[in-house]
Each structure stands twice: as C-alpha cells, then as structure tokens.
A and B are shown apart, each in its own frame.
Chain A
Amino acid sequence: MAFEDQRTTVYKVDPAHPESETLPTLRTEELLLNMGPQHPSTHGVLKVILELEGERLVKSTPVLGFLHRGVEKLAEDGTYHQFIPHTDRLDYVCAMYNNFAYCRAVEKLMNITVPDRAEYLRTIVAEVQRIIGHQFWLGTQALDIGAMTVFFYCFRDREILLDWFDELCGARLTTSWYRIGGVERDFTASLLDKLKQFLDYFPPKIDEYIVFLETNRIWVARTKGVAVISAEDAVSFGLSGPTLRGSGVDYDLRKAEPYSAYPKCEFSVPLGKNGDTYDRYWIRVQELYESVKIIRQCLEQMQDGPIMAEVPSVTMPPKERVFTNLESMIQHFKLFSQGFDAPPGEIYCGTEAHKGELGFYIVSVGGGKPYRLKIRAPSFIHMGAFDYMSRGYMIADAITLFGTYDIVMGECDR
C-alpha cells in the first residue's frame, strides 16, 4: 500500500452500533467490484476496481487509458498550428480553454505579444467557456447523485451559450477559435447583443440552481463531509482548480501568474474551508458569478483594434488578404506546408482552466514541429488522488468522487 491511511480503520466498528464488535465473528472477506468502463456516472470510459469491506471502500484502483489516442505523439507529427484542433478533443466539454492554454504556450515559446483587443476577446470567451463547464459539472454531478431537476435547468442555459459559440465560430463543441497570436474572428454586433442579454438573464438563474440543490436534503447529505482532503495532501497530490481551492489553498493562476486581460479585471477567488464536495460545489457556483463579473468588465474596457499579432513569420494572415495579396498568400502557404521555425528551447505554460491547471510543456529543437509536447491534464492528476480520497467511504460515494473532480476522460487519457 502506497500511503498508510488511518481512515480505513475508523469504520471497522459502526459508530452507531458499538456493540457490533462483540458480535460472534462472522466469516468476512473483501469483495472485488469492477465499476465501469461502461457506467453512466464515470463520464466516459473509466474503470475502477473497488475493494470492498461490506459497503466501505478499502482500496480503489483506477484503470485508465480506454480513451488513449496518443495525442502527445500526434503533436510530434504536425506543425504548431495543426495541433490546435487536437486540443479541442482533449477536454471536449471545454474546447475553448484548451485552445487558449495551447496558444498561450506557443506564444510564450515564440515570444509573441497578443494585441489588447484580442486579449479581451480571449478572456471573454474563456470565461463563457468556464460558465459552460461549471454548468455542465453542476448538472451532471447532481444527476449522478440523484438530483435530476437542476440538470435540465443547467443544460437549458448551457444551450444558449453553445448556440452563441455556434454563431461565433461555427461549432458548438470543437471550436478551434483561438489562433497563435490572436483569435480567428471578431465579435459581431449580434454576438455582443446576445452576450449582454445573457449576462442579464443568467445571474438569477444561478440563484435558482442554488435553491434547487441546497434545499435538497439528500443532495446536501451526500456532498457535505464526503471526499474530504486536507490542504497539505491536496497540494502534495498536485490537485488544482476548485478541487484544490475547496481545501482552502489560494492557488489560482489567474491571480498567481496573471495573463491575458485578467490583471485588468477585478474579481475574487472563492476559497473553501472543509475540503469536501460541498465546498467545491460552492466554489464553482461562486465562480459563475465571478465569470459574469469578469465578462461585464471586459466588455466595458474593450477598445477597437487588431485581433491578431503582426508577426508574419508565425501568425496567420487574415483570409481576405490571402485571396487578394500575393505576399499573404505565400505566407499562408508556407505556414501550412512547413510551419514556422521555433527557437530551440523548452517552456512550460499553465493556464487556469475550469477544471484546474492545464499546462503545456513544449520542447523545441528548431523547425516547424514540436520535438516533445507534454500535456499536464488536471483530470489525470486528480485521478491520482482517487484511491487516497475514497478510502473509508461508502461505495455510493465513489460516484460523488468522480463528480467532485469534474473528470473528462478525453483529457485524462489523452
């Protein structure tokens, strides 16, 4: 056993029935139960081998890799631009944020400064994506542990934003809207209108979600005090995002290493106290309010300007120039046939996605393709703490645990 955990012994005697210790000894044995890979609450194809003592979890072994597609190997075969669509398929619930994290990493490698307006557009869309991600999480985790209504309400409001994405970039889920050095296209007047309407519409709906869940005694009983992890353990396991902040650790990359337009916006980072599922839920709901605040501020501050950095050797020329201007066409052709020449070196760039720290570690030896690209996927690292966090809880709490991390297997298995 890797880490000795005292919690396993706590439940040997049922606290409600201390006399159970004096009962005549019965034959007991540990039960091995396979959960998944096809289980509705595992959010994809995840298998966990549970060792049970009665209904208590003694040990759980996650079996990952059912959705492994070798994305890191694929990255070595394409140019830097060509990898952007692959990042959509990592965390397919929140494609925009993956694009964002990857483009930031390449910009750091190439030392590109993104124009102001593009930074604001990026921040707005990233926060819209955060709202979608948290809505998705709120709905599905409540559904997993039996609270069904909030699922429909979350998905109704999520649909508005997905349609908004559809109008923005032509896709609802696999967006690929971010580009190295900027964004693909600007907001139209209709998009701005719709977003402003949504910002007025949405905050009362969050209150509604809260009422649905917090007046549900079963849901509260199944989240409060479940999947507790202390601050030290959470840090040692490398957890990030709401899963880490639920334990009261103040680590949000938007504040710790401010990027894009976040330093120009005022927002707070909610922190939990107990490190249980309920605190993580509370943080995510508070972040919905904060995201609305950030988007409002960005819309107010945003000025007109270019949406793409002018670095002809790296950034894509605008489409209208490609069709009218010879130099732009040559540039376009060169970028897509050979890619751009990256300087030799290595960088790591982490971005605060709604699940946690999504990082890209890129090693370049020059040339148009990355020599090695490593994805720091929060879902994968959260699964590392699954065994530790599950010990001593009931088997039904394993479902709460899947939910509490907000895992998406596309990102976990890569």
Chain B
Amino acid sequence: MSLPYVISQLQDAFPVGLTKIVEWRGELAVTVPRERLHEVAQFLHDDPAMDFDYIVHVSSVDWPDDDERFEVVYEFYSIKKRQRIRLKTRTPESDCIVDSLTDLWKGADFMEREVYDMMGIRFRNHPDLRRILMPDDYTEGYPLRKDFPLRGKGWRDTFEFLDETAR
C-alpha cells in the first residue's frame, strides 16, 4: 500500500470533510473537522483496504494564537500493509471536547487519558476520563499547555533572603 493509494481511497470515501492532507518526510497527515473524526477513524479501522488496526500514539499540540486552539493527533499503523497515517483534528478552548476512539482501539484509553491530563482536552464517551500522570487532586491546570510556565510559577522569587551578614 502506497501513500497515493491511501490518499485516493480517503478522498473517494470522503469527497468533502477532509480539511487538509499533508505529506512530509514520507509521512501522511490528514486533518479532519472534529465532528467527522470518529467517522473517518472508523473508516480507517474497519475498511479492509485500509486496515489500520494498530494505534501508535495519541498526542496533542497547543497553538494559543489560533481560533481552534488545541490539536489532537492520532497515529495509526497497519500491521498487514506496513503503512502509517496521522489523523489530526482541532478543537477550540471554549468547547474543548472531541470524540473518543476507545471503541475502535482499546489502547486509546490510556493515551487519551494522558492527553486529557496534560492538555485538558476532554473525550466524549471515554469510559474512565481521569488524570493519569498528575495527582487526582491537582488543580493547577494542565502542564503541557503553552500558558503553563516553563520555569516555575515565580513563587521562588518571593522567598525572603536572610541577610547573613547582619547578624
């Protein structure tokens, strides 16, 4: 299975509804609106010509300047056909939720939980959406967002220095 074949199959199945198809460094990335994410993913998983049965990773990227701030990235692999594909979707901050793909790939469970924990993106129909790496009672936000400070929150600067020489 080659990249042009995957692209043409996808375009045949979804004449409208694919926002962007990018091929870079031999990798295929397909962006879809979030309403169609589950539909396209189901096609990739179930269609015998596609057969993307292996989930590689679920990731997320924060673009604070964009209208649709968050990007959710799924990466799939077809073990029989030796082909990779990346499926991406965007979601705005105000309604930060996308459809969960746990019903298609069981491994998506933990990976989506990590995305929720790190980026604060919620997944509709996820069976157990809780924090996974950070503590359950962590209230200081989502660490991988760009507005989460990279070098501490500045409380270190508020320490009072003891003047050792004054004693």
- Where the two chains meet, the residues of A that have a C-beta atom closer than 8 Å to any C-beta of B are 1-3, 64-65, 68, 70, 72-73, 76-77, 108-109, 111, 233, 235-239, 249-251, 256-257, 345-348, 350, 357, 359, 361, 363, 371-372, 374, 376, 380-381, 383-385, 388, 413-414
Contact A374 B59 (CB under 8 A): yes
Q: List 18 A-B contacts (CB under 8 A).
A: A2-B102, A2-B109, A65-B131, A65-B133, A72-B118, A73-B144, A233-B106, A238-B105, A257-B82, A346-B24, A348-B84, A348-B86, A357-B56, A372-B59, A372-B62, A374-B73, A384-B110, A385-B106
Contact A65 B61 (CB under 8 A): no
- Select one of B25, B55, B134 contacting A108, CB under 8 A: B25
Task: Report if B57 contacts A (CB, 8 A).
Answer: yes
Q: Which residues of A contact B111 (CB under 8 A)?
A: 238, 381, 384
Chain B nearest CB: distance from A70 CB in Å? 6
Q: Which residues of B contact A235 (CB under 8 A)?
A: 53-54, 79
Q: Which residues of A contact B16 (CB under 8 A)?
A: none
- Interface centre among A2, A76, A346, A350, by most chain B C-beta atoms within 10 angstroms, is A346
Q: Which residues of A contact B131 (CB under 8 A)?
A: 65
Main secondary structure of the interface of A (DSSP, over half): mixed
Chain A nearest CB: distance from B125 CB in Å? 11
A384 CA to B128 CA, complexed, in Å: 12
A348 CA to B148 CA, complexed, in Å: 25
Contact A372 B61 (CB under 8 A): yes
Chain B nearest CB: distance from A364 CB in Å? 11
Q: Which residues of A contact B107 (CB under 8 A)?
A: 236-239, 381, 384-385
Closest to A374 in B: B59
Chain A nearest CB: distance from B57 CB in Å? 4
Q: Which residues of B contact A385 (CB under 8 A)?
A: 106-107
Task: Report if B127 contacts A (CB, 8 A).
Answer: yes
Task: Report if B27 contacts A (CB, 8 A).
Answer: yes
Contact B54 A371 (CB under 8 A): no
A223 CA to B24 CA, complexed, in Å: 45
Q: Which residues of A contact B143 (CB under 8 A)?
A: 70, 73
Closest to B119 in A: A372
Q: Which residues of A contact B79 (CB under 8 A)?
A: 235, 249-251
Chain A nearest CB: distance from B127 CB in Å? 4
Contact A413 B118 (CB under 8 A): no
Task: Report if B154 contacts A (CB, 8 A).
Answer: no
**Nearest 9 A/B pairs, CB to CB:** A238-B107, A384-B110, A65-B133, A2-B127, A374-B59, A376-B57, A237-B107, A238-B55, A236-B106
A383 CA to B111 CA, complexed, in Å: 11
Q: Which residues of A contact B53 (CB under 8 A)?
A: 235-236
Chain B nearest CB: distance from A45 CB in Å? 12
Q: Which residues of A contact B29 (CB under 8 A)?
A: 346
Task: Report if B156 contacts A (CB, 8 A).
Answer: no
Contact A68 B56 (CB under 8 A): no
Contact B134 A359 (CB under 8 A): no
Closest to B24 in A: A345
Closest to B138 in A: A65
Contact A77 B151 (CB under 8 A): yes
A385 CA to B118 CA, complexed, in Å: 21
A308 CA to B109 CA, complexed, in Å: 41
Task: Report if B162 contacts A (CB, 8 A).
Answer: no
Q: Which residues of B contact A371 (CB under 8 A)?
A: 61
Contact A380 B102 (CB under 8 A): no
Contact A72 B86 (CB under 8 A): no
Q: Which residues of B contact A363 (CB under 8 A)?
A: 61
Given A345-B24, A348-B27, A384-B107, A65 and B132 touching (CB < 8 A)? Answer: yes
Task: Report if B150 contacts A (CB, 8 A).
Answer: yes
- Select one of B59, B102, B134, B150 contacting A361, CB under 8 A: B59
